[in-house]
Amino acid sequence: MQIKYLPEKCIGCRLCEMACSGVKEGVFNPSLARLQVASRYKAYKLVNEAKICDSCQSCVRACSTGAIKFEEGRLVFVKDDCVKCGACFEACPTGVLRPGGDEFPLLCDGCQGDPYCVKWCPHGALILEEVG
């Protein structure tokens, strides 16, 4: 399963980011969310954009210590194995993977198949989709 973003349905509420940081970090802070949504007016048009992890596994391949793994269809982060080298951030093609306050990667594990961002999205802009 993969999280998919439908920009035309997004109202820019950012409850997805609030929910993600709340459940993963225990505080409400979009800067600590595993996804990033922006809904802004540019040149008198509404532009909705999002960065969402699509499990491409570039970070897994870039991780030299095995701290980031792909197991049973999900990304897994082993904090004890991370040396904060930053290679995963460099490798992420969308830039959605960011460091948190402690510099460890804010890795999306899809909330074990029941992502909070999707649950909190009010009008179906974030959906879960079968892969392949």
Partner 1 sequence: MAGYQDLVLRVNLTTGKVATESLNKEWARDFLGGKGLGIKYLYEEVGPGVEALSPENKLIFMTGPFTGTIVPCSGKLGIITKSPLNGYILDCSIGGSAAVEIKRAGYDAVIVEGKSDYPVYLLIEDGQVELKEAGDYWGLCCHDTEEKLKKVYGDDYSVLSIGPAGENLVAYACITSDLYRQAGRGGVGAVMGSKMLKAVVVKGTGAVRAADAKKLMDVTYNAYKNDLLTDTNLWAYTDGTPMIVELSQTTGILPTRNFQQGTFDQFANIKSEAVAAAREAKKGCVSCGLGCGNFTRVGEAVVEGPEYETLSIAGSNCGINDLGAIVKFNANCDAFGLDTISAGGTIAFAMEMTEKGIYDFGIRFGDADKYVELPELIAKREGLGAELALGAKKLAEKYGGIEFAMQVKGLEFPGYDPRGAWGMGLAYATAPRGACHMSAWPVADEAYGEGNPFTIEGKAEMVKDLQHYNAAKFSLILCDFWALSFDIMAEMLSALLGEEVTAQSLEQAGERIFNLARLFNTREGLSAKDDVLPARIHRHPLATGSTEGKTLPEEEFIKMLLEYYSIRGWDNNGVPSGEKLQELGLR
For binding to partner 1 (CB under 8 A), which residues are involved? Answer: 8, 11-15, 18-19, 21-23, 25-29, 31-32, 38-42, 44-46, 116, 119-120, 122-123
What's the closest the beta carbon of residue 114 comes to partner 1, in angstroms? 12
Rounded to 5°, angle at Cα 114 from 110 and 115? 50
Which one, 31 or 94, has the nearer CB to partner 1? 31
Nearest distance, CB of residue 70 and partner 1, angstroms: 27
Based on the number of CB atoms within 10 Å of its own CB, is 43 exposed (0-12), middle (13-18) or buried (19 or more)?
exposed
In this complex, which beta carbon is closest to partner 1, that of residue 1 or of residue 15?
15
Q: How far is the CB of 122 from partner 1 (least distance, A)?
A: 4
**Residue pair 131/4 in contact by the 8 Å Cβ criterion:** no
Residue 95 Cα distances to 15, 46, 80, 99, angstroms: 20, 22, 23, 11
Which is nearer to partner 1, 14 or 51 (by Cβ)?
A: 14
Give the nearer residue to partner 1 in terms of CB position, either 21 or 55.
Answer: 21
CA 47 to centroid of chain Cα atoms: 20
